[in-house]
Structure 1
């Protein structure tokens, strides 16, 4: 996440993290597992481009 912070996409990613964190707090663990995939996806996509 430190490397993402140097990138222009970091702000959008941080907003996504905040949104998902808020959803997790009012959801159960099954939803958390699904949303964790969403969090990892942007990072994996950026890594594969390099």
Structure 2
């Protein structure tokens, strides 16, 4: 039991990085699927 707990504690930082990457990917997909209402047809926007 303690070995599993220690392993999990060592990997928390890695798990947080994975979670952050998944959240960022979901947000990126959401942004791609939603078109801004104020954008005129044929116009381009650069989002940083």
What is the TM-score with the length of structure 2 in the denominator? Answer: 0.40
User: For the pair shown, which has the larger CA radius of gyration, 1 or 2?
Assistant: 2
What is the TM-score with the length of structure 1 in the denominator? Answer: 0.39
